[in-house]
A and B are shown apart, each in its own frame.
Chain A
Amino acid sequence: MSLASEEPHATRDSDLGDEELRARLRKTWGTNGGLIGFLSTVDHKVIGIRYAVTSFAFLLAGGVLALIMRLQLARPDNHLVGAELYNQLFTMHGTTMMFLFGVPVGEAFAIYLVPLMVGTRNIAFPRLNAFSYYVYLFGGLMLWGGFAFSIRPDVGWFSYVPLANLDFTPGKGPDYWAQMITFTEVAALAVSVEIVVTVLKQRAPGMTLDRIPLFVWTMLVHSFIIIFAMPAVMLASSMLIMDRLVTTQFFNADAGGDPLLWQHLFWFFGHPEVYIIFLPGTAFVSAIVATFSRRPVFGYLPMVLSLIAIGFLSFGLWVHHMFVTGLPQVGAAFFTASSMAIAIPNGVQIFCWIATLWDGKPVLKTPLIFVLGFFFIFVTGGLSGVMLASVPIDTQVHDTYFVVAHFHYVLIGGTLFPLVGAVYYWFPKLTGRLMDERLGKWQFALAFIGFNIAFFPMHMLGLLGMPRRVYTYPAEIGWGGLNLLASAGALLFFASFLLMAYNLLVSARKGALAGDNPWDADTLEWATTSPPQPQNFDRIPCLTSGSPLWSRDDDQPVVSGLKVDERELVVTSITEARPDIREESPAPSIWPFVAALATAAAFIGSIYTPWAITWGSPVVALALVAWFWPKTSEENA
């Protein structure tokens, strides 16, 4: 397939041999050294790894907070931490895990893997990608910097009003929380737009809609959910900060506002948020199950339809977080039905994965073992979720440890276990070295046992009447034994992550060499070197099937005719992925970093004075002008 047209002077890939082509492309697509080069990079792989490392650092921080809370609750009437600090701890734990780990870590994998899987050279809007990372980083640093300097939000990761109003929570804690939301949402929205465009317009020729890997389909749906859900919480957090800063009265019942408005807006985002965090987990499961069953996932069409159904249904469930606010019963009952309905597409997915294992010949390597843990834990959490969908049952277990158990089963089981599997699975692609299998299996044993000991007793605690977010409880009430058990399990679970950190560090240096495709997987990221070259692929592949690396053919067709000395991509049509045009991809630039810095200064300043927005906007605008300053190219000249 040749895209060469007029312009005879530019060097094209068809003119060069393999060796020289690789060297020239490396030079074109590479990142410069030095601090400026480091901050200017627009390589999706570099930024993806930065996202992943940052989010794992926040995972560790959030995990330490959880551990302190578990130590406090291990004994009744414990005095390890006081009420004030405990409230700060669970607020920071929830906020960190949801906004600084759960959402970004899914994006990290999408940023790194989606361009490789669809066979392109960089993500769409790569400068926006760099910008999004810095905004996310600054948001996280702001929240934790505030925490270090005793500006600590303590009203929960949900910041219900009026408790989060100025009257009841003076100080800057909730403002930092609300602005952190703004930061991470800006970042998440940017990444989502990039992923959607990359998937729809930059797929390798021949990757028709029905040949898109399930991983990529999942990330596409995930991105659409972010695009429609996140604006609700940005709106809500902006209203909250305006109530606190410039005395608007959105949530003040006395002035005609409504505290329930906050809950509607927050949960309209909050429930899709659960799927924003969970869907990357299913993406990992689809990839790992297919590879280690030695066959493509059973039921491609039902899988894709289920994903899309989950995407839509996730917007129709939010009221089940508000069943005990005294809403009209008929309305609440509708949300019982819709909440139960989402179990059906999830059930379809579970069935298809198990059927794949059934029909395939499973190879029990660490990534698959973590996915088996996922089945055990996630199905448990999913079924307790069906209980929570029922209005009457919810009136008993809402805001108790039963719910804490439920969503840790869903989020840790649904996302964290596949995520650890995914780290073992893609680590060789990132570093060229395999992780240690034996340590991996030990880690699984520790994590699986620790997790269940930590969280299963919480179901019972909730039913025995223990509410969430209590910093202590009286000995006479008899929750001590189960809490001690949960705390012991939490220690084991935490230890499993220390083991993982050790494995990562050792394997990155001394692991066995992996080669291009150590698992004999079928998707395109395994068609390139490990770690991949800056240009991802020397020659862009053309697909003739949905499992390109499993076709017995040695002769794979490739695209030819792309310029070698400029960053050029193939843009294809949305449904059939027919080659459409060659498009130039933006080069590295320092301006996204500067723009992120200016944005951060404006956001943080706005916590203290609304004038920060007024004075910050022109600075951001200037950075954007420099960012988008047109380059004179031969096509424009």
Chain B
Amino acid sequence: MKFWSVHKMQNFEAGDCPGHPPWHSGRVDAAKQKNAANKKEGEKRRDVEPWLAQDPGVASETHRFASLAPDEHNNIERHHTVPHALLHLLSHAAERARTLSAGPISIAVGSAALSGCAGVQSALDPRGEQAHTLAVLFWTFTAVLALVWFLTMAGLIFALAHRRNRRGEPAQPRAAVKRPMLIAFCVMLASSTIILSGLAVLSFGAQKAIFGSGAGAALTISVIGHQWWWQVRYEGDGGFETANEIRIPAGSPVDIKLTTADVIHSFWIPSLAGKLDLIPGKSNELRIQASKPGVYRGQCAEFCGQQHAHMAIFVVALEPREFERWRAGQAAPVKPTAHLGRQGVFTLALLENAQ
């Protein structure tokens, strides 16, 4: 089974943002070898691809979503709450600054950022509740700390400018401590304490909002890290497995149970939530939620060996109705007659193994 090709879904190839990875095919030699070792296990897993090919309705709908221009999409999504509006303003201002500022560096930076395929894998392009909270917190920190930076640099530049050396000036071994400097010192100490305390309180607030124990999510999915792929297990009656791809219903929280079969990995879908490690002998739980249907890329964020760079995963958020349909399709017995192509061979192998 080629795990590296399961993402070649037709619905994502369209649009100006070809985020799905044709780059996986044919390049990951060592990973392939490793996967060959896992082949037997892998063949028991159902591929998600055939379903998409069979269900044109869903595919076209996701397609429509994917081809929305990023900004249009943002507008739909972001104006519900004050922090979201603030975030929107800030990111817009940043974009404008990027495009307006001249000079080769900023042009390169700007073009790189614009070509950056904003929806795929970016902490600055949040598409879920947690990622929103995180981005707002990030921009608040950035604004406050940038102010501190500018004040410090202004002080430094003024210190250099206001009394330049006249050559050969003798040193003052006992410089008097002047009153204004003492006052400035106290102001600096007090204000930095206040600023840091304020930021700490904001951080605690966000931490509570993100990790606070809410009601249990309707859906729990187990993700098991392997060198260098992700095994995804839908628990419960009619449970089934996929690889390197998680399908979730948009708009409702999903708990991801994280364990590892070998070394430490880290599960990270930047546009949905922060990361969390998969550690041997330990089970971690991360909640993710996608506001809208879409495809969100992530990749392993803890160095896990040779092909760490290629350990990617996709979260596909579907309309709840479609998600249920897909889930039911996955859980149902496979009909080997539908498409006797490549997949057909695998399903036959699966049936043989099951007996």
Residues of A within 8 A of B (CB): 77, 83-84, 87, 154-156, 160, 162-163, 168-169, 253-254, 258-260, 294-296, 298-299, 302, 324-326, 329, 332-333, 336-337, 340-341, 343-344, 347-348, 350-352, 354-355, 357-364, 372, 375-376, 379-380, 383-384, 386-387, 389-400, 453, 457, 460, 462-465, 467-482, 484-485, 520, 522, 545, 547, 550-551
Alpha-carbon separation in the docked complex, A102 to B146 (Å): 29
Q: How large is the interface on B (under 10, 10 to 19, 20 to 34, 35 or more residues)?
A: 35 or more
Give the segment of B50-58, B66-74, B75-83, B165-173 that binds chain A. Answer: B165-173
A163 engages B159 (CB within 8 Å):
no
Select one of A258, A397, A400, A481 contacting B115, CB under 8 A.
Answer: A481
CB distance from A129 to the nearest CB of B (A): 33
Which residues of the partner chain B approach A399 to less than 8 Å between Cβ atoms? 266, 275, 301-303
Which residues of the partner chain B approach A259 to less than 8 Å between Cβ atoms? 264, 279-281
Alpha-carbon separation in the docked complex, A87 to B170 (Å): 55
Asked if B215 lies at the interface with its beta carbon under 8 angstroms from chain A, I say no
Alpha-carbon separation in the docked complex, A584 to B90 (Å): 68
Given known A478-B115, A522-B173, contact A392–B185 (CB-CB < 8 A):
no
Asked if B306 lies at the interface with its beta carbon under 8 angstroms from chain A, I say yes
A474 engages B23 (CB within 8 Å):
yes
Contact with A along B90-109 (1 / 0, CB 8 A): 00000000000000010011
Which residue of chain A lies nearest to B286 when distances are taken between CB atoms in the complex?
A: A326
B309 engages A473 (CB within 8 Å):
yes
B149 engages A469 (CB within 8 Å):
no
B309 engages A471 (CB within 8 Å):
yes
Which residues of the partner chain A approach B300 to less than 8 Å between Cβ atoms? 467
Alpha-carbon separation in the docked complex, A163 to B307 (Å): 13
Alpha-carbon separation in the docked complex, A168 to B266 (Å): 17
B141 engages A386 (CB within 8 Å):
yes
Alpha-carbon separation in the docked complex, A475 to B116 (Å): 10
Which positions 1-40 of chain B face chain A at CB distance < 8 Å?
18-23, 27, 30
B112 engages A347 (CB within 8 Å):
no
Which residues of the partner chain B approach A478 to less than 8 Å between Cβ atoms? 112, 115-117, 120
Given contacts A162-B263, A348-B189, A463-B124, 9 further A-B pairs with CB under 8 A are: A163-B264, A358-B155, A372-B156, A383-B149, A386-B141, A465-B122, A467-B300, A471-B309, A550-B171
Alpha-carbon separation in the docked complex, A324 to B23 (Å): 29
Q: What number of residue pairs across chains A and B have CB atoms under 8 A from each other?
A: 307
CB distance from A441 to the nearest CB of B (A): 15
Alpha-carbon separation in the docked complex, A302 to B273 (Å): 42
Select one of B109, B113, B181, B309 contacting A472, CB under 8 A.
Answer: B309
Asked if B137 lies at the interface with its beta carbon under 8 angstroms from chain A, I say yes
Which residues of the partner chain B approach A465 to less than 8 Å between Cβ atoms? 120-123, 270-271, 297-299
B281 engages A295 (CB within 8 Å):
no
B303 engages A83 (CB within 8 Å):
no
Alpha-carbon separation in the docked complex, A340 to B276 (Å): 22
Asked if B252 lies at the interface with its beta carbon under 8 angstroms from chain A, I say no
Asked if B277 lies at the interface with its beta carbon under 8 angstroms from chain A, I say yes
Give the segment of B192-200, B229-237, B243-251 that binds chain A. Answer: B192-200
B137 engages A390 (CB within 8 Å):
yes
Closest 10 CB pairs of A and B: A395-B274, A481-B112, A253-B281, A465-B121, A470-B309, A358-B159, A390-B203, A550-B173, A326-B284, A478-B116
Alpha-carbon separation in the docked complex, A380 to B149 (Å): 7
Given known A355-B181, A395-B275, contact A453–B105 (CB-CB < 8 A):
yes
A343 engages B196 (CB within 8 Å):
yes
A324 engages B275 (CB within 8 Å):
yes
A329 engages B121 (CB within 8 Å):
no
B120 engages A160 (CB within 8 Å):
no
Which residues of the partner chain B approach A473 to less than 8 Å between Cβ atoms? 309
Asked if B210 lies at the interface with its beta carbon under 8 angstroms from chain A, I say yes
CB distance from A394 to the nearest CB of B (A): 8
Select one of A253, A389, A469 contacting B280, CB under 8 A.
Answer: A253
B109 engages A343 (CB within 8 Å):
no
Asked if B164 lies at the interface with its beta carbon under 8 angstroms from chain A, I say yes
Which residues of the partner chain B approach A296 to less than 8 Å between Cβ atoms? 173, 175
Which residues of the partner chain B approach A324 to less than 8 Å between Cβ atoms? 266, 274-277, 301
Asked if B133 lies at the interface with its beta carbon under 8 angstroms from chain A, I say yes
Which positions 293-313 of chain B face chain A at CB distance < 8 Å?
297-309
Alpha-carbon separation in the docked complex, A468 to B204 (Å): 26
A295 engages B172 (CB within 8 Å):
yes
B185 engages A299 (CB within 8 Å):
yes
CB distance from A537 to the nearest CB of B (A): 20
Alpha-carbon separation in the docked complex, A545 to B171 (Å): 14
Asked if B328 lies at the interface with its beta carbon under 8 angstroms from chain A, I say no
Which residue of chain A lies nearest to B284 when distances are taken between CB atoms in the complex?
A: A326
A482 engages B112 (CB within 8 Å):
yes
Which residues of the partner chain A approach B307 to less than 8 Å between Cβ atoms? 83
Alpha-carbon separation in the docked complex, A326 to B352 (Å): 40
CB distance from A159 to the nearest CB of B (A): 10
> Can you identify 10 A-B contacts, CB atoms within 8 angstroms?
A87-B303, A160-B263, A160-B303, A163-B303, A383-B148, A396-B134, A465-B271, A465-B299, A481-B113, A522-B173
Which residues of the partner chain B approach A375 to less than 8 Å between Cβ atoms? 152-153, 156
CB distance from A592 to the nearest CB of B (A): 39
CB distance from B149 to the nearest CB of A (A): 6
Alpha-carbon separation in the docked complex, A149 to B158 (Å): 54
Alpha-carbon separation in the docked complex, A518 to B96 (Å): 51
Given known A259-B264, A395-B134, A398-B275, contact A336–B203 (CB-CB < 8 A):
yes
Which residues of the partner chain B approach A258 to less than 8 Å between Cβ atoms? 281
B21 engages A474 (CB within 8 Å):
yes
Asked if B321 lies at the interface with its beta carbon under 8 angstroms from chain A, I say no
Alpha-carbon separation in the docked complex, A342 to B23 (Å): 44
A260 engages B279 (CB within 8 Å):
yes
Asked if B184 lies at the interface with its beta carbon under 8 angstroms from chain A, I say yes
Select one of A168, A354, A462, A545 contacting B262, CB under 8 A.
Answer: A168
A254 engages B281 (CB within 8 Å):
yes
Which residues of the partner chain A approach B218 to less than 8 Å between Cβ atoms? none
CB distance from B4 to the nearest CB of A (A): 12
Which residues of the partner chain A approach B189 to less than 8 Å between Cβ atoms? 344, 347-348
B123 engages A361 (CB within 8 Å):
no
Alpha-carbon separation in the docked complex, A354 to B153 (Å): 10
Asked if B338 lies at the interface with its beta carbon under 8 angstroms from chain A, I say no
Which residue of chain B lies nearest to A167 when distances are taken between CB atoms in the complex?
A: B262
B305 engages A84 (CB within 8 Å):
no
CB distance from B31 to the nearest CB of A (A): 9
Which residue of chain B lies nearest to A466 when distances are taken between CB atoms in the complex?
A: B121
Given known A379-B153, A520-B171, contact A387–B141 (CB-CB < 8 A):
yes
B175 engages A295 (CB within 8 Å):
yes
Which residues of the partner chain A approach B159 to less than 8 Å between Cβ atoms? 354-355, 357-358, 362
B276 engages A302 (CB within 8 Å):
no
Select one of B116, B149, B173 contacting A479, CB under 8 A.
Answer: B116
Alpha-carbon separation in the docked complex, A549 to B30 (Å): 65
Select one of B20, B111, B192, B268 contacting A347, CB under 8 A.
Answer: B192
CB distance from B217 to the nearest CB of A (A): 17
CB distance from A486 to the nearest CB of B (A): 10
B303 engages A372 (CB within 8 Å):
no
Select one of A350, A383, A395, A481 contacting B109, CB under 8 A.
Answer: A481
Which residues of the partner chain A approach B270 to less than 8 Å between Cβ atoms? 396, 465
Which residues of the partner chain B approach A467 to less than 8 Å between Cβ atoms? 268, 299-301
CB distance from B23 to the nearest CB of A (A): 4
Which residues of the partner chain A approach B203 to less than 8 Å between Cβ atoms? 333, 336, 389-393
Asked if B342 lies at the interface with its beta carbon under 8 angstroms from chain A, I say no
A361 engages B199 (CB within 8 Å):
no
Which residues of the partner chain A approach B20 to less than 8 Å between Cβ atoms? 476
